[in-house]
Amino acid sequence: MWDQLWVDVRLATVVPGAADAGLIEDAALGVAGGRIVWVGARSALPAAPHQLAHEVRTGGQRLLTPGLVDCHTHLVFGGDRALDFDLRSQGVSYAAIAAAGGGIRGTVARTRGLSAEELAALALPRARALLAEGVTTLEVKSGYGLDVATELRMLEAARLLGRQLDVEVVSTLLALHALPPEFSDDRAGYLDQVINELLPAATGLASQVDVFCESIAFTRAECARVLGAARDRGLAVKVHADQLSDQGGAELAAEFGALSADHLEYTSAQGVAALAASGTVAVLLPGAYLMLGETRRPPVAALRAAGVPLAVATDLNPGTSPCTSLPVALTLARAQFGLGASEGVAAVTRVAAAALGLGASRGTLETGKRADFCLWNLGHPRELGYWLGPGACHVVVREGRVRLVEGAVEGRPS
């Protein structure tokens, strides 16, 4: 007997190449041992529902999708950067704010000195908001410590969140984010500390290493040193690439076989070709694009034409994307960057899972995959990434464990 059988659902499998995100009308899905064991049309079930499963749940013709994967967040931090936002709204540039001691360094000042428990407590409401909007797998970066002790506490806080909320957290060491003030005259010394002290200490706490390759952050050569050291330790790598200028970040990501290259507003044709050849996922971050008032869009059409997989993430962070809803980020990506409906659903499920190296276990509704899925007060996949606001997520299931979502907008989809 199966543990659960879900019937009377409109089911989006999100398998590659399928129209309408693989939509199956009047579908059923079976779960056993935290895995999907059957998926298809309800009429094709091998027996009556109560003969197949201990528990039969009726979806009321709601949309059922894979659980969402937020593959790029800076969830753990101290304080906020509302002042930065106010200054930007008055015309002060991101680079000018950073040069004056705001930006990332401002968050560092508010993060250092906080314990792992304090950091986790501050992040808890933000994480709960993401989960209530359908996220079942969550990436969390460090990068607001810029010293060994605080970076490790941030990674520990990410693990604490995973245990407290029963969600899988993928921890990423953002090894190069900004130059700390105590190394303002010694860039080489900081890189030595990252490579010789931070990376060894973080191995085991983090499964991935990220770098910010940008004119206001670190050069391609500096990032390459750290990525090489991370790869030598068996860690997967990612790159904040070409957000504010073309520094060759996409090519750098491709060179090191990165799981993803993220932002990409200024990526060149050469960068697009490099990503296509490497299989690296392009992660679009529309929250930062919106909040920074950017006007240069990532080359989505070129990336699509080259066959580069496209993911979307919240980039939840205090300075440039205080976004706690992945569906809202998807709506922004569709409106700003021209993603289609099926492409958008894949961007926050199947492709986002691939951006974390987890595509084999989640991101689609197929037999053998983890039973991570969401039931929505929606009737069609095109409605996910349409609404600008909460309340569409009705039920979240992670490894077969069912959670009703508080505050869900009741109603039967038409």
- DSSP secondary structure code for residue 218 in this structure: B
Nearest Cα to 168, choosing from 118, 204, 131?
A: 131
Percentage of the residues of the chain whose pLDDT score is greater than 70: 98
For residue 327, the domain's CATH number is 3.20.20.140
Give per-residue burial for 143-162: e unless 16+ CB within 10 Å, then b: bbbbbbebbbbbbbbbbbbb
Chain-centre distance of CA 97, in angstroms? 26
Measure the CA–CA gap between 259 and 353, rounded to whole angstroms.
10
Measure the CA–CA gap between 384 and 152, rounded to whole angstroms.
36
**Half-sphere exposure (CA, 13 Å, Cβ side) for 50?**
0
Domain assignment present for 413: no
Report which residue type is found at 28: A
Measure the CA–CA gap between 258 and 363, rounded to whole angstroms.
19
3-state class percentages of the chain: helix first, strand second, coil last, to nearest 5: 40, 25, 35
Query: Do 332 and 344 reside in the same domain of the chain?
Result: yes
Query: Do 22 and 45 reside in the same domain of the chain?
Result: yes
Domain assignment present for 409: no
Domain assignment present for 313: yes
Domain of 17, in residue numbers:
2-66+363-404
Confidence of residue 102 (pLDDT cuts 50, 70, 90): confident
Domain assignment present for 255: yes
**Half-sphere exposure (CA, 13 Å, Cβ side) for 187?**
12
pLDDT, position 193 = 98
Query: Do 298 and 393 reside in the same domain of the chain?
Result: no
Q: What is the pLDDT of residues 153-174, one digit of tens each?
A: 999 999 999 999 989 999 999 9
Domain assignment present for 412: no
On the question of pLDDT at 344 being above 90, the answer is yes
**In three state form, how does the secondary structure of 357-411 look?**
CCCCCCCCCCCCCECCEEEECCCCHHHCCCCCCCCCEEEEEECCEEEECCCCCCC
**Mean pLDDT, rounded, for 353-358:** 98
Domain assignment present for 411: no
On the question of pLDDT at 95 being above 90, the answer is no
On the question of pLDDT at 372 being above 80, the answer is yes
Query: Do 48 and 72 reside in the same domain of the chain?
Result: no
For residue 26, the domain's CATH number is 2.30.40.10
Q: What is the DSSP string of 265-334?
A: TT--HHHHHHHHHHTPEEEE-HHHHHHTT------HHHHHHHT--EEE---BBTTTB----HHHHHHHHH
Query: Do 188 and 258 reside in the same domain of the chain?
Result: yes
Query: Do 259 and 278 reside in the same domain of the chain?
Result: yes
Among the residue ranges 98-112, 118-132, 142-156, 313-327, the one predicted with the least confidence is: 98-112
pLDDT, position 412 = 43
Among the residue ranges 64-73, 125-134, 218-227, 403-412, the one predicted with the least confidence is: 403-412
On the question of pLDDT at 410 being above 80, the answer is no
Domain assignment present for 414: no
Whole-angstrom CA distances from 140 to 123, 159, 174, 295, 316 are 10, 9, 10, 27, 9
Q: What is the pLDDT of residues 234-253, one digit of tens each?
A: 999 999 999 999 999 999 99
Query: Do 81 and 199 reside in the same domain of the chain?
Result: yes
pLDDT, position 151 = 98
Query: Do 74 and 161 reside in the same domain of the chain?
Result: yes
Whole-angstrom CA distances from 153 to 133, 156, 160, 356 are 27, 5, 10, 22
On the question of pLDDT at 408 being above 80, the answer is no
Residue listed under structure tokens 């951006």? 355
pTM: 0.96
Query: Do 101 and 42 reside in the same domain of the chain?
Result: no
61: three-class secondary structure by DSSP? strand
On the question of pLDDT at 100 being above 90, the answer is no
On the question of pLDDT at 409 being above 70, the answer is no
Query: Do 92 and 25 reside in the same domain of the chain?
Result: no
On the question of pLDDT at 404 being above 90, the answer is no
On the question of pLDDT at 413 being above 70, the answer is no
Query: Do 28 and 87 reside in the same domain of the chain?
Result: no
Q: What is the pLDDT of residues 185-201, one digit of tens each?
A: 999 999 999 999 999 99
Average pLDDT, whole number, for the chain?
95
On the question of pLDDT at 13 being above 60, the answer is yes
Strand order across the 401-404 sheet: 35-41, 23-32, 2-12, 53-66, 373-376, 393-398, 401-404
**Mean pLDDT, rounded, for 120-145:** 97
Domain assignment present for 147: yes
Query: Do 105 and 84 reside in the same domain of the chain?
Result: yes
pLDDT, position 406 = 61
pLDDT, position 414 = 46
Domain total in the chain: 2
More confident residue, 407 or 335: 335
On the question of pLDDT at 32 being above 60, the answer is yes
Give the gyration radius of the chain's Cα atoms.
Answer: 21
Residue 168 pairs with which residues in a beta bridge? 137
